[in-house]
Amino acid sequence: MDSFSRTLQTDSHGKASTIKLFSFARPHMRALHLGWISFMTAFLAWYSIPPLISIIQADLGLSATDVYDSNVVAVAATIAARLFVGPLCERFGPRKVMAGLLLVGAIPTAMVGLVKTAGGLIALRFFIGILGATFVPCQFWATQMFSSNVVGTANALAGGWGNSHIPNSTAWKAVYIIPAGMCILVSLVDIFFSDDCPEGKWHSVRQVPNDQVPPPVDVKNEDMEKMPQVAVYEDVDNTDDDTISLSSVNSHKTFATSVAVFFKTLIRPPVLILLIQYACSFGLELSVDNIIAALFHNRFQLSLTSSSYVGSVFGLMNLFSRLSGGLFADYLFRKWKLPGRILAQIILLTCEGCFLIGFSYSLGRLDSSIGMMVLFSFFVQASCGSTFALAPYVDPENSGTVMGIIGAGGSLGGLCFNFLFKSYGLDYHSAFLILGIVALVAGIPGSLLLRVQGRMLYNLRSTK
């Protein structure tokens, strides 16, 4: 990446083949930056309640069951919304979908201070949970803007940076105005100051017949001229190594067609494998984030403040670890095409599983526990990046649906692993040992069975 270059290199579809990180120019870099800023803003509102839940619980007189039910409802809303939002991105474009989600989520976020009962809190957390679906347009947006050689890096950067994380009885009621206002502000910026794709607005471009679309931008990088480019995918299993272009996404499906496509996509083996692998990366990240501070407090008798600081390292790793997974997948793609991305997936998930098992056996000493936590958290989040470096290739014509399903798998994994930690209580050794084994099973056999566009890991030699 030439972060300070003045011009972006583009491929034959007008997608950027380089990333100019310190640029905010339209359409490519502005879309990338607004994607992660929008997701980060949504994440701020989405996770604004958990840090203050003890204050809310005491002020409203809620039971532990009430709090637990509100947590489950919030995650369930995210799962459902991600499944629904994927097809919406294909029909209306990522820009409008992102802005719409932010506006819809801002309303219940601003109303949290009006809650007086457990039922009210549960209802509002359900609607706030919809903000978790902003991850899908965030990834879809980056996929529309960036070429196959950097799409993994772009998706990982957008997802990783976006996911980075008064008297009490009155302060918590006012604090939610801030994230709600930010959601509204960023949604307006998305609508009026950005583009859906290199060609411009989603619908205005799609109203032009394919044979009347302006000619693509010339490739400026000689290496890019050698890369195969495909405009329309008629048979996903027999296409070249490219992500979706504008003309490959079908935005004119009827409702019945959309439902049929959704279920057909849902049962495709590569979608199911990536769903499970994302559950073992992002889902695991969500569940560990909920208990890591408590683990250091209970296991090593650290103060609440100290254990929170140690636990925060896990979340802060997102600033670079997810991006590292995307960069690694793109690097191996340049060497071995799609089998290289699958190789990145199996390496990262295997390392994740091994270090999770190592962490389960390191809980006798504080220093070794912190060291192993840093290592497993890096690979957990890097695996998130490598997963969405593969996702755009699975079914380019229905890319939004695929991303929504895989993204929902992450939230579903978080729900399942939360049940695991709840079942084992203070037996952190057994819980993390199981997590490590599950990650290894998802990573090794799953990646060996993974077939994307007719390519599998064993095709590695033939692509050299």
Domains of the chain by residue range: 26-197, 239-464
Q: Which residues pair with 289 in a beta bridge?
A: none
End-to-end CA distance of the chain: 23
225 against 34, higher pLDDT: 34
CATH no. for 26-197 = 1.20.1250.20
CA–chain centroid gap for 136, Å, is 7
CB 105 within 8 A of CB 77: no
Give the pLDDT band (50/70/90) at residue 164.
low
164 against 121, higher pLDDT: 121
CB 248 within 8 A of CB 232: yes
CA–chain centroid gap for 453, Å, is 22
Position 462 pLDDT exceeds 80: no
pLDDT of 161 reads 82
pLDDT of 463 reads 63
pLDDT in tens, 256-300: 888 898 999 999 999 999 999 999 999 999 999 888 988 998 999
CB 281 within 8 A of CB 435: no
Q: Which 8-state DSSP code applies to residue 426? A: T
CA distance 242 to 12: 11
Position 20 pLDDT exceeds 50: yes
Q: Phi/psi of residue 34, each to 5°? A: -70, -30
CB 372 within 8 A of CB 353: no
**Rounded average pLDDT over 143-152:** 92
Q: Is 27 helix (H, G, I), strand (E, B) or coil?
A: coil
pLDDT of 171 reads 43
pLDDT of 205 reads 60
**Rounded average pLDDT over 49-73:** 86
pLDDT of 336 reads 94
State percent of the chain over pLDDT 70. 84
State percent of the chain over pLDDT 90. 58
pTM of the full structure: 0.83
Task: Look up residue 182 and give its two tokens.
Answer: 């930010």
The overall average pLDDT reported for the chain is 85
Give the pLDDT band (50/70/90) at residue 169.
very low
Return the number of other C-beta atoms located less than 10 Å from residue 30's C-beta.
18
| Greatest mean pLDDT range, 50-59, 131-140, 221-230 | 131-140
Position 234 pLDDT exceeds 80: no
CB 216 within 8 A of CB 245: no
Position 464 pLDDT exceeds 70: no
Give the pLDDT band (50/70/90) at residue 73.
very high
CB 387 within 8 A of CB 281: yes
Q: Which of 49, 27, 17, 6 minimizes the C-alpha distance to 94?
A: 27
Strands of 296-361 (E only): list them. none
Give the pLDDT band (50/70/90) at residue 151.
very high
Position 195 pLDDT exceeds 80: yes
CB 198 within 8 A of CB 28: yes
Q: Which of 400, 381, 439 minimizes the C-alpha distance to 137?
A: 400
Give the pLDDT band (50/70/90) at residue 179.
confident
pLDDT of 96 reads 94
Q: Which of 414, 439, 413 minimizes the C-alpha distance to 359?
A: 439
Question: Of the ranges 173-182, 370-379, 402-411, which one carries the lowest mean pLDDT score?
Answer: 173-182
Task: Look up residue 353 and give its two tokens.
Answer: 């599983």
47 against 126, higher pLDDT: 126
Return all residues near 315 (Cβ < 8 A) that are at least 6 apart.
Answer: 164, 165, 289
Position 138 pLDDT exceeds 90: yes
Do the first three CATH levels of 26-197 and 239-464 match, i.e. the same topology?
yes
Indicate the residue type of 331: Y
**Rounded average pLDDT over 108-124:** 92
Give the pLDDT band (50/70/90) at residue 238.
very low
pLDDT of 460 reads 85
CA–chain centroid gap for 337, Å, is 22
Return the number of other C-beta atoms located less than 10 Å from residue 43's C-beta.
20
CATH no. for 239-464 = 1.20.1250.20
